[in-house]
Every structure is written in structure tokens, then in C-alpha cells.
């Protein structure tokens, strides 16, 4: 007797053809481009924020000798005076009221409402002579100025070689760009710009 064997055939799916790897997947180009764009966008945002809050300025000439020297580069804070008004002794960057296109760098000596005098080789504020060890030499000029609201009296530390308030008068607060806070060039001058105070004025009643 002959046995008949029946074999069942099972359909086996044909193997899928493998896709060749793309260059983007193989080398992560898409991910790399995304990281690059995100980094560039972040850098642009940081640049805009920094330029809104600060500025970089060069010292031109000798008007601030011996405190600052020709060719130094400074960082000025614009946000400082959004928080409080300029203070006596601040070294500021300003838009020159005499029409010069290059920003000036000067020291605030007189505040709104002050009475400023130049006499006897000294600067006097409200009848009190200022102690100014930072100046190059005693002023050889004389004058008298009464400051109104929102007006400041600024001078270069090189008193006899400076275009400042003793020549062109009071400085409007609208001309003040910011407070000089840091010198970043040259390396030997690197550091915070010192602020000078006047205890002879603050001690008065």
C-alpha cells in the first residue's frame, strides 16, 4: 500500500530590499546643520543684547591723562544710567555737544543744581574745593557755571588740554551714552575703571 504524503506549502514573504544609507544619516549632516543654526541664532541674540546694554569705545587723544591713555579701548555700560542718574566722579562716554563725530570720554564733576567754579588752580563745587589727585595738572583757566535740571559739568583729567564743559558749557543728560566700566585693551591696562568719590562734599550738611 502506497502512502501519499501531502506537503503544505507556506508562502514566505520576499525579503525587503535595503535602502542605501544616505549621506545625511551616515554623517549626521542634518543634525549638524541644525546645531550650527541654533548656535548662530544664539550668538546673534547674545550680540544684540550685549550691544544694547554696553558699547565699546576708544580713547582718542590725551584729554584724560593720566587716568586714561590714547588708544585704550573701553567698555561702557548703557544700562547703568537706566537704573540711576550719573554720579560725581563717573568717567562717562558722551556725544559731544560741539558737533564732533567721535564720542568724548570725560569725568563728571558737577551735578544738576550745582554751582561750579574754576579759580585758584582748583575746581570748586558749591563753595568747596575738590580734592582731585587724578588730574594731570591744575587748571589754568577760571570760570563760573550754574547747572540747571538734567545738566552735568564734565572735565577731562588733563585739565589744560581738554575740550569739555569749561569750553562748551554744561552737558545735557541726553548726550550721555554710558558709564565707562572696564578697559580691555591694551593688556597692560586691562581692568575695571576706578570710580573716585569726594568725601569733602558728602560730609557737608
* SS3 assignment, position 150: coil
Nearest to 164 by CA among 125, 108, 102: 108
Element (H, E) at 192: strand 191-192
Written as one string, the DSSP assignment of 7-41 is PPP-PPPPPPPPPPPPHHHHHTHHHHHHHHHHHHH
Residues in the chain: 205
Query: Is the link from the previous residue into 186 a cis peptide, with omega within 30 of 0?
Result: yes
Which secondary structure element, helix H or strand E, spans residue 200, and what is its range? Answer: helix 199-202
How many Å apart are CA 81 and CA 84, to the nearest integer?
5
Peptide bond into 5 cis (omega under 30): no
Catalytic residue numbers? 63, 106
Helix ranges (H only) for 64-157 are 80-83
Instruction: Give the span between the Cα atoms of 194 and 133, in whole angstroms.
Output: 13
How far is residue 118's CA from residue 153's CA, in Å, rounded to a whole number?
Answer: 12
Amino acid at each position: 500500500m502506497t502512502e501519499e504524503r501531502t506537503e503544505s506549502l507556506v508562502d514566505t514573504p520576499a525579503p525587503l530590499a535595503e535602502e542605501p544609507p544616505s549621506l545625511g544619516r551616515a554623517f549626521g549632516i542634518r543634525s549638524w546643520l541644525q546645531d550650527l543654526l541654533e548656535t548662530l541664532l544664539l550668538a546673534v541674540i547674545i550680540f544684540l543684547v550685549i550691544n544694547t546694554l554696553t558699547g565699546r569705545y576708544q580713547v582718542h587723544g590725551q584729554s584724560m591723562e593720566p587716568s586714561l591713555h590714547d588708544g585704550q579701548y573701553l567698555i561702557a555700560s548703557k544700562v547703568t544710567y537706566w537704573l540711576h542718574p550719573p554720579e560725581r566722579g563717573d568717567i562717562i562716554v558722551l556725544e559731544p555737544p560741539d558737533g564732533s563725530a567721535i564720542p568724548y570720554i570725560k569725568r563728571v564733576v558737577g551735578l544738576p543744581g550745582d554751582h561750579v567754579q574754576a579759580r585758584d588752580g582748583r575746581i570748586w563745587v558749591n563753595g568747596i574745593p575738590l580734592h582731585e589727585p587724578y588730574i594731570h595738572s591744575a587748571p589754568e583757566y577760571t570760570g563760573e557755571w550754574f547747572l540747571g535740571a538734567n545738566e552735568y559739568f564734565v572735565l577731562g583729567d588733563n585739565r589744560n588740554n581738554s575740550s569739555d564743559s569749561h569750553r562748551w558749557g554744561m552737558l545735557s543728560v541726553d548726550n550721555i551714552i554710558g558709564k565707562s566700566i572696564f578697559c580691555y585693551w591694551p593688556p597692560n591696562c586691562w581692568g575695571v575703571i576706578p570710580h573716585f568719590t569726594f568725601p569733602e562734599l558728602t560730609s557737608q550738611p
